[in-house]
Amino acid sequence: MKRFAFPSVRTRSLRAAASLAGLSVLFLGGPCLAQLTARALGMGLAYTALARGVHASDWNPANLGLSNNPPFGFSIFSVGAGVGNNSFSIGTYNDYATDPYWDSNEVAELLNKIPDDGLGISALADAKVLSFSVGRFALALGVKAGASAFIDKSVLDIPLTGTRIGDTYTFDKMKASTLALGSVKFSYGSPLRVSFADTFAVGGSFHLDFGGGYGRVDSSRMSLEIGTFGLDLDGRYAATAADFGQGWGIDLGAAAKLNRHWTVSTGLFNLLGSVRWNKKVKDVGGYVRGDSVSVQDLVEDEDGENPAIEDSTWELDGRPFSRKTPIELHVGGLYEEGPYALTMDYAQGFHDQGWVTTKPRIAFGMEWRKIGWLPLRMGAVMGGRIGFGTSFGFGLRPGKFVLDVGVMNRGFILPNSSKGVFLAVEMGVGL
């Protein structure tokens, strides 16, 4: 079928522009994860059954009731952040950015790296300060934020491969969301007498949540129909945004230390609760339309407008609204033998928003404690928004002082395979 010259991009310069636009997302986003503490990150986020003290608040509050929970812990600060994407690695960028011309096989190989649900980009930040645990009680002060977006694969397919007369292209897989919450979390765990475990505990957390930002594309669609002398364009979108909200939530969990080797733990987060967004609520919408748009029609007039394309965006003051905070399930196992601790986690979200995703995540981790003041860690994770990631970390723990560092690479540990990087640092006492 005959190709239409207007949207078909075959020049080197436009190919380079498309490559930079697509590959630059490597530095703009990453998997949205919660609980980005340094020790957990170094173990591949397989930390549910191992978290104790103040860390139990984010992984399973029931762990506060286990027999080996520390009597006191104080986290001076814990900071973590991550960026990445689901398609392109540093190696991809190096291969394509240095090549002035891509043949059809190279273009096909590049597009095959993008999943069918689109090019995913996302980012996370997680911070806690002055959080502590005393016995079975913990108080955590923190903030976490996550943002994610999926760009329809056709957005890159068209400039790289061109279009054909008579074809209709749709862009229905565009979506984006962002969520930022600060919280004050009170957690408690209590042991119960049972016959099947050395220690069995249940626990819960109550948290006051303060929304720092909410945004979500509620609907988005666009179609592009290629004609002989031009194209027909029809697209529209609607989104909701708010700057501030407040609410509450409840987490519940159970944990069992079966014997000196095995511990199992499960927690359900945000089981109850929601945030009411009531400040600077905005309903945003728009559309873009054009009939038989040609190359000449793309030239703007003296006023900087394009009369051939009808483009409208509006913003209205919205009404306050409530949204449930995203529910997430954690299930973890721990095996300890001498200086070794081996962990396994399963995480499942029930809503795509912020740092939570409905795609399940499986993680494995190991900690080596032969040198008591220098624990070494490594881990691997699969699924969720990460896909596949590897991690390592270490701690400096002379006496009661704690400094933990964790690094995760989205891909194999070699930098060339990286689709994103995550770093976390924590300082405290008795953690």
Instruction: Render pLDDT for 124-167 as a digit per residue (tens, 0 to 9).
Output: 889 999 999 999 999 999 998 888 888 888 888 888 887 778 88
- Give the dihedral of Cα atoms 83, 422, 207, 131; nearest 10 deg: -140
Helices 104-112 + 154-161 axis angle, to 10: 180
Residue 249 has pLDDT above 70, yes or no: yes
**CA-to-CA separations, 197 to 260, 271, 344, in angstroms, rounded:** 10, 26, 19
**Is 186 a domain residue?**
yes
**Is 351 a domain residue?**
yes
The count of domains in the chain is: 1
Size of the chain in residues: 431
Domain containing 340 — which CATH number?
Answer: 2.40.160
**Is 129 a domain residue?**
yes
**Is 3 a domain residue?**
no
Could you list the residue range(s) of the whole structural domain that residue 344 is in? Answer: 12-429
Burial class (CB in 10 A: 0-12, 13-18, 19+), 362: middle
**Is 2 a domain residue?**
no
Token digits for 70?
């520390």
Instruction: Render pLDDT for 387-428 as a digit per residue (tens, 0 to 9).
Output: 899 999 999 999 999 999 999 999 887 778 899 999 999 999
In contact, 37 and 46? CB cutoff 8 Å: no
Sign of the CA dihedral with 61 first, then 329, 115, and 175 last: negative
Round to whole Å and give the CA distance between 133 and 52: 9
pLDDT at residue 303, as a whole number = 57
Residue 19 has pLDDT above 60, yes or no: no
Instruction: Render pLDDT for 96-115 as a digit per residue (tens, 0 to 9).
Output: 888 878 888 888 899 999 98
Give the residue from 306, 184, 289 showing the smallest Cα distance to 246: 184
- Compute the average pLDDT of residues 176-181: 88
Q: Please spell the DSSP secondary structure of 108-155, one letter per residue.
A: HHHHHTS-TT-EEEEEEEEEEEEEEEETTEEEEEEEEEEEEEEE-THH
**Is 5 a domain residue?**
no
- Which range has highest mean pLDDT (100-104, 174-178, 362-366)? 362-366
**Is 73 a domain residue?**
yes
pLDDT bracket for residue 185 (50, 70, 90): very high
**CA-to-CA separations, 268 to 45, 48, 172, 205, in angstroms, rounded:** 16, 11, 33, 10
What pTM was estimated for this model as a whole? 0.83
**Is 116 a domain residue?**
yes
Residue 1 has pLDDT above 70, yes or no: no
